[in-house]
Amino acid sequence: MRIAAVSAHFGRDVEQCLAKIEGIVADARAQDVRLLVFPDATIGGYLGDLGRGDDTGLPPALDAGSPELARVAAAAGDMVVCVGYRESAGGRHHNSAVCVTGDGVLGRHRKVHQPVGELPAYAAGDAFTAFDTPVGRMGMLIDYDKTFPEAARTLAGRGAQLVACLSAWPASLTNRAPRLVQDRQSRLFDLYDCARAAENQVVWVSANQTGTMGRLRFLGQSKVVGPGGDVLARTWAKAGLALAELDVPAEVSRARLVLDHLRELKPEAYA
């Protein structure tokens, strides 16, 4: 099975975002991709700053049944596609992700862990949910969620063998390096991807934005990581597809053959 993570920039123009999604989906389909993961804030872009006002405004808010999400599902067809957007629900707004095929919605996630600068724009989610898809049982996280080991562990404990992590992860605002590859946030972004895959023995599909929005400069570095923590494909800082071909159940079973981290947990000792 071919799995791909997208590195690309998505801004405020919703029509432009949707056209770009459709083009990337078509390109992935031509390469026989079965699971395609887009970055956080795929429809309408991310914030332009964290912790203070900026001139980019807030991303447009879509409800769960919006025609924009229906258009993404129609483009997906028989492919499993994950995208991020700003969700409007019950008078609140969430940083959300949805997993779809042409048949409809397979799973949803609202970002649980938030940096302080997100609080004026988004309300926090409160759950991590694994769900079944044509490519296997999986779950989703949104960027800062992956900093917390409990988030990915919860999904793995609920049977997810694939984790899609959608990010709009920027370079450091307080200690910016001259080159993205030298940035401390670049190192942490890669570290969390590999650690979460290895500690849970799952296939990790990490997609991130590129380019800039306001003061934020996004890292790219989308990748597919195997259950041993090895990077199978990556984009570095440029836009593109990180594409890997693997048998997910076989790879997960092989990783857990001798040391099975979930089976060998000792929760009674962690209190």
| H-state helical runs in 9-53 | 14-30
What is the pLDDT at residue 53? 60
Helix (H) or strand (E) holding 97: strand 92-101
The low-confidence residues of the chain, meaning pLDDT below 50, are none
> Could you report the per-residue pLDDT of 57-79, keeping only the tens digit for each?
999 999 999 999 999 999 999 99
Cβ pair 43, 25 in contact under 8 A: no
Give the model confidence (pLDDT) of 216-260 as tens digits: 999 999 999 999 999 999 999 999 999 999 999 999 999 999 999
Which CATH code for domain 2-269? 3.60.110.10
pTM: 0.97
What is the pLDDT at residue 21? Answer: 98
Using CA atoms, how far apart are residues 243 and 240, in angstroms rounded to an integer? 9
pLDDT value at position 117? 87
Q: What is the mean pLDDT of the chain?
A: 96
- Per the CB < 8 A criterion, the answer to whether 91 and 38 are in contact is no
Q: Residue ranges per domain, the chain?
A: 2-269
Cβ pair 49, 216 in contact under 8 A: yes
pLDDT of residue 226: 98
